[in-house]
Structure 1
Amino acid sequence: MTKPSRLMRFAGSHDLRCQTCSLSALCVPSTLTLRDVERFESLTRQWPPLHKRQILLHQESPFSSLFVVRSGSLKQTSRCPSGDDQITHFFLPGELVGLDAIGAHHYPGTVTALETTTVCEIPYHHLDGQSDSVVGLREHLLQVMSRELHNERMLVRVLLRRTSDVRLASFFVAMSARFQRRGYSPHCFRLAMSRADIGSYLGLAVETVSRLLGRFQQSGLMTTRGREFEIHDLDALSRLAEGEGRQSALG
């Protein structure tokens, strides 16, 4: 696979306007003044579109920047000491890529586009230098990092303590909340990741994911059509995700 293209030409600053971006509320602190937003924009560079399977970052490459997903989606895959690959994260529009690299000073996984994806790069040394002068920027970053830490702990809880049906239900409840946070329907959405990707993320075989999706559909929890998902009973799915109501949900 090709290395992340540092030779790719960045789009000009006129192509990137945080003030008009529909996702700015997710990655730009609401407390920033117009002048602060303009300063934040000056730190940010837009990459040309990444195509499906194109790599944004390689595992163990030196940390230099954070990235904001503008459109599309990405997955992060980490190679374990055993040589196995494990998907550890999916990134949706408005989310930050690279927060888990700040402490170790290298990226802990390979980040790959699941579909045509656009990202904005924020060089960390510029961001760190502005975090004190731009009011609210450091607090916003800490809030995002805190949320990511919470999500990681929830994933560990799911993987270590839950059965396969509860893991999959937890995944769709979390995805529903993430889409709702972006102003989209929490009931109907499209996921670019494959069944195998979902299985890797949850520690399940792809056959198990397909079988459980069939059971969810038969029980009336949700309908699947390829990569299109429609949740019919979010409350019941949430109860299943909490380990409750398994008999009533799945029969």
Structure 2
Amino acid sequence: MPDAQPFHAQHLKTACSNCSVLELCLPLGLTGPEIERLDTLIVQRAKVRKGTALYRAGDPLRSLYAVRIGSFKTSVLSVDGREQVTGFQISGEMLGLDAISTDVHACDAVALEDSEVCPIHFAHLEKVAGELPSLQHNLNRILSREIVRDHDMLMMLGNMNSDERLAGFLVNMAQRLSTRGYSSSHFVLKMRREEIGSYLGLRLETICRGIAHLRDQGLVEIKGRDVNIQDMDGLRQLIAGCHRSLR
């Protein structure tokens, strides 16, 4: 994690039991003593400045990372050197799961804004999870959620036209932000339009046209990165039948 900067002040040490995204993260459903034991695996939070990497493709697996504050994008480089965005992660979600099978990260994880993560040493996590069935269950749940998201993404790319993909992306972001207590109708996108296009398999000009089409239908108003969803039901109807769920 060469670009991440740790907090050294003792009073900033992570306490899972006091974390604002506890209910979204790995400790979900753990008892007080179990959370305290998990907390011992997190020596200190790490701050990652906007535009810098939490880890790079090819780095060895050392930790999983719970996003506490901020957001990230994950991406890989194509054979010809182009960036392919594979996901966007926000508070309460996990980073680093890509390295579990090979012990090496398969993608880059770069902060979209000044962010904080809780590093959880993976070898120690595996040991503790073997002793705490509830923790192992939560880890399995997170892994399963990532598999389902991959399936949903393949469904989106295979079955939706460009406007439907963009609508699905906005509904997905709105749902995830709402779960965290934020507005589902007014929010700011932390990623660039080019990055959204890469994620959705669309060119920048197609994204711009899609934004105009959704605006003309009275569904969404997007100015810069500011999003105002005017008709959530209309957005859902646009993608109805194309995608069984948006997580």
**Does TM-score exceed 0.5, indicating one fold?**
yes
Match of 1:154 in 2: 152
Conserved? CA contact 1:57–1:112, under 8 Å: yes
Match of 2:94 in 1: 96
Q: Displacement of 1:191 after TM fit?
A: 1.3
1:189 alignment partner, one of 187, 190, 198: 187
SS of 1:46's equivalent in the other structure is: coil
2:240 alignment partner, one of 235, 242, 247: 242
Change over 3 Å in CA distance of 1:40–1:14 after alignment to 2: farther
Match of 1:11 in 2: 8
Conserved? CA contact 1:75–1:112, under 8 Å: yes
Match of 1:46 in 2: 44
Structure 2 residues not aligned, in runs of 5+: 243-247
Conserved? CA contact 2:71–2:111, under 8 Å: yes
* Matched AA of 1:114: L
Match of 1:247 in 2: none
SS of 2:40's equivalent in the other structure is: helix
2:132 alignment partner, one of 128, 131, 134: 134
Matches within 5 A, 1:73-92: 73-92=71-90
Q: Deviations over 1:129-187 (max 9, x none)?
A: 00022241000111111111111111111112221111111111111111122122221
SS of 1:127's equivalent in the other structure is: helix
Q: Displacement of 1:115 after TM fit?
A: 0.8
Match of 2:19 in 1: 21
CA distance in 2, matches of 1:117, 1:80: 27
Q: TM-score, normalised by structure 2?
A: 0.91
Deviates more, 1:148-157 or 1:28-37: 28-37
Change over 3 Å in CA distance of 1:45–1:91 after alignment to 2: farther
Match of 1:145 in 2: 143
Q: Deviations over 1:69-116 (max 9, x none)?
A: 111110011112343220001010110001121112211111111111
* Matched AA of 2:96: G
* Matched AA of 1:33: T
Conserved? CA contact 2:55–2:109, under 8 Å: yes
Q: Displacement of 1:44 after TM fit?
A: 1.1
Measured on the aligned residues, the alpha-carbon RMSD in Å equals 1.8
CA distance in 2, matches of 1:45, 1:166: 43
Match of 1:249 in 2: none
2:219 alignment partner, one of 221, 227, 232: 221
CA distance in 2, matches of 1:236, 1:183: 22
CA distance in 1, matches of 2:46, 2:128: 25
Structure 1 stretches of 4+ with a deviation exceeding 6 A read none
Conserved? CA contact 1:69–1:92, under 8 Å: yes
Conserved? CA contact 1:173–1:241, under 8 Å: no
* Matched AA of 1:99: L
Q: TM-score, normalised by structure 1?
A: 0.90
CA distance in 2, matches of 1:120, 1:100: 17
Change over 3 Å in CA distance of 1:138–1:12 after alignment to 2: farther
Match of 2:111 in 1: 113
CA distance in 1, matches of 2:94, 2:44: 14
Number of residue pairs matched by the alignment: 241
Change over 3 Å in CA distance of 1:9–1:170 after alignment to 2: closer
Conserved? CA contact 1:13–1:45, under 8 Å: no
